[in-house]
Amino acid sequence: MRKENMKIKKAVFPAAGLGTRLLPITKSIPKEMLTLVDKPLIQYGIEECISAKINDIIIVTGRGKNSIEDYFDRSIEHEIILKEKGKEHLLKSVEDLSNAANLSYTRQKEALGLGHAILTAQNLVGNEPFSVVLSDDIIDSRIPVMKQMMGVYKNLGHSILAVQRVQDKDIPKYGIIDAEEIQKGVLKVKDLVEKPEIREAPSNLAIIGRYILMPDIFEFLRKTKPGKGGEIQLTDAIKSLLSTQPVYALEFEGTRYDGGNKLELLKAQIIFGLKNPGLRTGLIDFINNLELV
Ligand code: G1P
């Protein structure tokens, strides 16, 4: 079978970043473990993959990230106490997830950039297409974004990037693509640039943290020199990949919140809180009667 038609079974979650924008909390809590309503951010990303039938989850961790592994591991002490109290359901959501997903971990020894983090996962990915999820890109959508992307992958094969239009002022925060629409919402990528100045940007179509990548990316990642911010950039490697094979982009349906930004994280808390049946009424009531002291 041609590589570009192979089933996607694996997802790489880079989680070695320092979370600088959320300091000081990220001194001791990995940003992937920050809570959105009642679950850590990374759990939402993993659930999104499971919904797209991607069950092999590879987490690229680093120093200070042990709590991610602990969270998905069993906690015998809690299990014993909860069993005595008849409250086993409190661990159910994470237990179900750990059973559905096949989790593995690899460690990035130095934070040399997103591209380098992906390269660290090469041995676990092997020679097959795979997906990448940046769990601080929180996406609220009717159909999970990875599932939307798998639909495009089934039709077109090859690498697919999730993109969204951003305001001009935000262009320098993202990888930006130059592309041509070939179907409604589906674009053929012509060029990419990591965090350009507004005047140099080819468009306002920003890459959001969901990717489907052909394994050939590893060869280009190995050759990629440090780029923007002195880091090995995934965007630069995808640009090189583009000279040898097609790359597509999907303007996905959904609202994205930047979990690395305090205001955006707060907005996401409210939206996800309102969507939680057990919290909705109480939260609306609270908002309607807000009084600041
Ligand atoms: C990374 C990528 C960038 C992408 C962004 C999406 O940047 O390098 O191309 O647009 O994620 O969130 P970071 O936010 O890690 O600086």
- Locus of tokens 């077109």: 156
- Which residue has a Cα nearest atom 13 of ligand 1? 174
In a domain, 1, yes or no: no
**Looking at the DSSP assignment, which residues form a beta bridge with residue 255?**
140
What digits encode the pLDDT tens for the residues 88-128?
777 777 777 788 889 999 999 888 999 999 999 999 999 99
Confidence of residue 162 (pLDDT cuts 50, 70, 90): very high
- Which residue has a Cα nearest atom 15 of ligand 1? 114
What is the DSSP annotation of 195-230? Answer: S--GGG-S-SEEEEEEEEE-TTHHHHHHHPPP-GGG
Q: What is the mean pLDDT of residues 167-195?
A: 97
State in Å: Cα 65 to ligand 1 middle: 20
State in Å: Cα 208 to ligand 1 middle: 7
The answer on pLDDT for 54 being more than 90 is yes
State in Å: Cα 209 to ligand 1 middle: 7
In a domain, 230, yes or no: yes
Q: How many domains does the chain have?
A: 1
Instruction: Find all residues with CB under 8 Å of 102, minimum gap 6, and list them.
Output: 55, 56, 57
Pocket test for ligand 1, best of 22, 114, 210, 239 (most atoms within 8 A of CB): 114
State in Å: Cα 107 to ligand 1 middle: 20
In a domain, 282, yes or no: yes
- Which residue has a Cα nearest atom 9 of ligand 1? 175
State in Å: Cα 1 to ligand 1 middle: 32
Q: How many CB atoms lie within 10 A of CB 47?
A: 18
In a domain, 106, yes or no: yes
For position 238, which CATH number holds?
3.90.550.10
Domain span at residue 188 reads: 10-286
In a domain, 291, yes or no: no
How much is the mean pLDDT over the chain? 93
Q: Which pLDDT value is given to residue 91?
A: 76
In a domain, 5, yes or no: no
Nearest residue to 146 via CA among 254, 18, 30, 291 = 254
Confidence of residue 226 (pLDDT cuts 50, 70, 90): very high
- Mean pLDDT lowest among 67-76, 154-163, 210-219: 67-76
The rounded percent of the chain whose pLDDT value lies above 70 is 100
What digits encode the pLDDT tens for the residues 16-39?
888 888 889 888 899 999 999 999
What is the CB < 6 Å shell around ligand 1? 114, 134, 137, 174-175, 194, 206-209, 233-235
Q: Which pLDDT value is given to residue 265?
A: 94
pTM: 0.94
186 vs 20: which has the higher pLDDT: 186
Which two tokens mark 93?
Answer: 């959501």
